[in-house]
Amino acid sequence: MSDEPIYVTQPWLPPLEEFMPYLQQIWHSRILTNRGPFYRQFEQALCDFLQVEHVALCANGTIALSTALHAAGLEGEVITSPYSFPATAHVLANSNLTPVFADIDPMTFCLDAATIEPAITPRTAAIMPVHVYGNTCDTRSIKAVADKGNLRVIYDAAHAFGVQDDAGSVLKHGDFSALSFHATKVFNTFEGGAIVCADRQTKELVDKLNNFGIADETTVVAAGLNGKMDEFKASLGLLQLKHFEQLVSRRKMIDASYREQLGDIPGITLMQRDGRQVSNFSYFPILVEPGYPLDRDSLYEKLKSRGIFSRRYFYPLISNLPMYRNLPSADPANLPVANAISNKVLCLPIYSALSDEQVEKVVGVLKCH
């Protein structure tokens, strides 16, 4: 058995020779950015693949979220999940919006629709839920709450590439869904992202906001920033897309193998997936409960000592970070489920190049104590 370290994820790259013709075309044309041919092709390919109508490519997932917020033209408070990556709240803070944290659902780890309504105030402008680990939020209930309160909905869909619910792509819900193509995500362009918009007009606005607000050579219509994706990344994305389904099917096998081998360990709870959904198997979180001989952090250290780098994801909770913990909604008493899960969760290695032997090695450490 190899003693190579096992990381929680490993970015997948296509064979370099497959990428060379794309690079040659870029070198030959000297079109490097500003919506070149690969940008347009990748945008169209994503629309087809993700079964959505309007996609705007972005430089990364964070700028995708912040551009969506800018396009929504919000002021005041935004109800969001504390159980996410810090970027979710940071984009609000940087847009002069106040994050208001609501609790999460203990099964899906996504924002619990029932906790949103009590958090609404006259200053509430929008809801920003997160499709955690490729599970889908309760989009129907969120829509009902949003419609009732006349609120915009911006989904952080950084984990939701290719995910479908019983009605098709999960990216169709809400006013915007922001994707991330960061190296650690299930689909990567080194750095990258996209915004799925509800209509053409909004996509056009988003495209302007991502290009300094420029409408044409002499017209600037908004104080937009630079959030464009360049040709290098767009061409890589186009190529990555051809391999995506094959990579997800290997992840699905690893997910099944973990489930089979870890299912009956006392004190280890596996996250259940909704069988009616098409998942991307992007993470494999377990909960380390009091019935297990080690606490979560000791298990994390033990795995590390064997060369297995798991990840406490998401820990610490965003609402416990120094820049947010003094907000009234950040009180742990307001967020009991999120705090409990954040203290128990550990994400195990999962990526398409992970071998069966490596999966067995991870399982072996979890089983023997």
345 in contact with ligand PLP (CB under 6 A): no
Shortest spacing between CB 92 and ligand PLP, in angstroms: 12
85 in contact with ligand PLP (CB under 6 A): yes
Shortest spacing between CB 62 and ligand PLP, in angstroms: 3
> Is the CB of residue 141 less than 8 Å from the CB of residue 113?
yes
85/292 with CB nearer ligand PLP: 85
Judged by CB under 6 A, which stretch of 83-91, 135-143, 279-287, 320-328 contacts ligand PLP? Answer: 83-91
Show contacts with ligand PLP in window 6-45 (CB under 6 A). Answer: none
233 in contact with ligand PLP (CB under 6 A): no
62/319 with CB nearer ligand PLP: 62
84 in contact with ligand PLP (CB under 6 A): yes
342 in contact with ligand PLP (CB under 6 A): no
Cβ-based neighbour number of residue 147 at 10 Å = 10
Q: Which of 70, 152, 159, 172 binds ligand PLP (CB under 6 A)?
A: 159
CA-CA distance, 240 to 187, in Å (whole number)?
Answer: 7
Q: Which of 26, 127, 158, 362 binds ligand PLP (CB under 6 A)?
A: 158
67/358 with CB nearer ligand PLP: 67
For residue 227, list its beta bridge partners.
Answer: none
Shortest spacing between CB 43 and ligand PLP, in angstroms: 17
CA-CA distance, 365 to 369, in Å (whole number)?
Answer: 7
CA-CA distance, 155 to 139, in Å (whole number)?
Answer: 10
Cβ-based neighbour number of residue 201 at 10 Å = 10
Shortest spacing between CB 81 and ligand PLP, in angstroms: 9
292/313 with CB nearer ligand PLP: 313
Q: Which residue is nearest to ligand PLP (CB)?
A: 61
195: nearest Cα among 222, 160, 223, 230: 160
236 in contact with ligand PLP (CB under 6 A): no
108: nearest Cα among 78, 75, 141: 141
> Is the CB of residue 356 less than 8 Å from the CB of residue 129?
no
158/346 with CB nearer ligand PLP: 158
100/130 with CB nearer ligand PLP: 130
Q: Which of 99, 162, 193, 237 binds ligand PLP (CB under 6 A)?
A: 193
Show contacts with ligand PLP in window 61-80 (CB under 6 A). Answer: 61-62
Shortest spacing between CB 179 and ligand PLP, in angstroms: 8
192/268 with CB nearer ligand PLP: 192
282 in contact with ligand PLP (CB under 6 A): no
230 in contact with ligand PLP (CB under 6 A): no
268/335 with CB nearer ligand PLP: 335
Burial of 80 (0-12, 13-18, 19+ CB in 10 A): buried
Judged by CB under 6 A, which stretch of 7-15, 96-104, 154-162, 209-217 contacts ligand PLP? Answer: 154-162
Point out which residues bind ligand PLP (CB under 6 A): 60-62, 84-85, 87-88, 130, 156, 158-159, 180, 182, 193
